[in-house]
Every structure is written in structure tokens, then in C-alpha cells.
Amino acid sequence: MNQEQPRGGVVRYWWSKADESLASAQREVEAGAFAFAMNRIYYADFYAVSSALLDRQTSFKKHSGVRAAFHREFIKKGMFDSNWGKFYDQLFEDRQEGDYVALIDFERDYVLNQLARCRDFLIHLRPLVTSLK
């Protein structure tokens, strides 16, 4: 077995975690747990970006490293529209607030909008991940 095969499996694993997180976000919205939904929305994108970076033989242990590499490898190189970079950054901030700020709450419409945009994010990023083809 060459090194490409295991890496491809891990790329697919992280992408499946993105799909699972997106489904979990939908369930949290339906339950009215909007802060938990924002957490899952962020993680859907985080896992997808991690998958895409690993597909390019790059990985990081910290969220900040994944964020920086996403901007460097996809946004600055013109592979992904800069609005998606801003969206990813906003999700990171929302997740931070939802997880660590007391008494924070998100409006249902905002969460639904972010969930829809997250789905679009994954749709646009997936073709750039060659191990998923």
C-alpha cells in the first residue's frame, strides 16, 4: 500500500465528519438549540477545510492554523471566492461566542441562514478535494 491510499482514506474520513456535523446542525436547529447548531455549522466547515488541506498534503493541529492555511491555499490563490473566507471567519467567531460567552444566544433566522450558506460552502469546496472523486 502506498502513502496515497491512507491519506485518501483520512481525507474522506474528515469529509464524512463534515457531513455528519451538517446533519447534526440541522437537528440542533429543529430542537431550538441555536448555539449548539452554530457549533456544528462551524465544525462542518472546519472538517471540510481540514479534508481539503489534507488532500493537498497539509494539516494542522490548531484551528488557527487551519484558518490561516485555508486563506493562504484557497482564498489568496483565487481557488475560492473571498466571501467564503469571510464566512469561515464569521463561523469561527460565532462558534467561539456560542461556546465560551455566557448568556449568548443566536436568532433562529441567522442560524438558518448560516446553515444554508454552510451547505453551499461544502458544495463549492468538494470539487477541489481530489480524494473525494
Domain residue limits, the chain: 4-132
Q: Write down the mean pLDDT value for the chain.
A: 93
Q: The C-alpha cell of 88 is what?
A: 469561515
User: What per-residue confidence (pLDDT) applies to 15?
Assistant: 97
- 0.95 cut: is pTM over it? no
Q: Indicate if the pLDDT at residue 61 is higher than 90.
A: no
- Between CA 59 and CA 51 the distance in angstroms is 9
pLDDT tens-place string over residues 30-58: 999 999 999 999 999 999 999 999 999 88
pLDDT for the residue numbered 5: 60
pLDDT band for 6, please (50, 70, 90 cuts).
confident
Question: What pLDDT score was predicted for residue 49?
Answer: 97
CATH assignment, 4-132? 1.20.120.330
Q: Count the Cβ atoms, other than its own, within 10 Å of residue 84.
A: 21
Nearest-Å Rg of the Cα atoms of the chain is 15
